[in-house]
Amino acid sequence: MEETVKKKIVLVVDFDNTLINIDVFKLKLSKLVLYSPFKLLKLLIDYSGWVNFKLQVLESKLPNELQFKDCVNLELLTYIISIKENFTKVVIVSATPLNFLLNFIPDSLFDEIHGSTNINLKGRSKLEYIKRNFGCNFGYIGDSNADNCIFYDSIYAVKVSSRKFQILKNEIF
């Protein structure tokens, strides 16, 4: 009897509205508008480039700071842990700036964390980054319509919406 060998690929997981139930940047931006509008204006003037501006907003200290445990999508995280053995590694790739991700996500949860530095890792630029760093065969868990090109090119795909998730492609199990 021949044993079926599972394909070992990298599982790429998105961050905002996927691993966590919110978009941290939008939340912090709205809090800046509410609590510190002049600080927001200063950030707009001082920092050129979208990634730099985004990082400064995310690093702004505001009342009631978020913690990972308060906004993680527990159902999805439990699912990822249950299927982790089917992948060579599980990584985060996000448009959220890398420095913020490294300080926000607990070290032990993922094999690698990749975030925006000079390039905003969203849509097609995220897909190119994934292929360059992990190859053409990968699994993807995400939420955005901007991710449609990534879902299309992946061999395993899970789409997350409103705290629910749906397996779109399952060519590896």
161 and 119 housed in the same domain: yes
Q: Which domain holds residue 75?
A: 9-22+68-170
| Number of separate domains in the chain | 2
Classify residue 31: in a domain, yes or no. yes
Classify residue 43: in a domain, yes or no.
yes
Q: Are residues 28 and 105 in the same domain?
A: no
User: Do 72 and 153 have their domain in common?
Assistant: yes
Q: Is 103 helix (H, G, I), strand (E, B) or coil?
A: helix
CATH number for the domain including 107? Answer: 3.40.50.1000
pLDDT for the residue 112:
96
> What are the beta bridge partners of residue 87?
9
Pair 52, 131 in one domain: no
Q: Report the distance separating Cα 7 and Cα 105, nearest Å.
A: 28
Helix %, strand %, coil % of the chain (to 5): 50, 25, 30
Question: Angle 130-11-142 (CA atoms, 0-180°, nearest 5)?
Answer: 75
Q: Taking the chain, what is the end-to-end CA distance rounded to the nearest angstrom? A: 18
Q: Return per-residue pLDDT of the chain as tens, 173 residues.
A: 333 335 689 999 999 888 877 777 677 776 666 666 777 677 666 766 655 666 666 666 655 567 788 888 888 899 999 999 989 999 999 988 888 889 889 888 899 999 988 888 999 999 999 999 999 999 999 987 888 999 999 999 998 876 566 666 565 44
Q: Quick check: is 2 in a domain?
A: no
Q: Are residues 47 and 97 in the same domain?
A: no
CA distance 151 to 103: 28
pTM (global) more than 0.75: yes
Q: What's the sign of the alpha-carbon dihedral 23, 29, 34, 36?
A: positive
> Rounded to whole angstroms, how far apart are CA atoms 171 and 106?
30
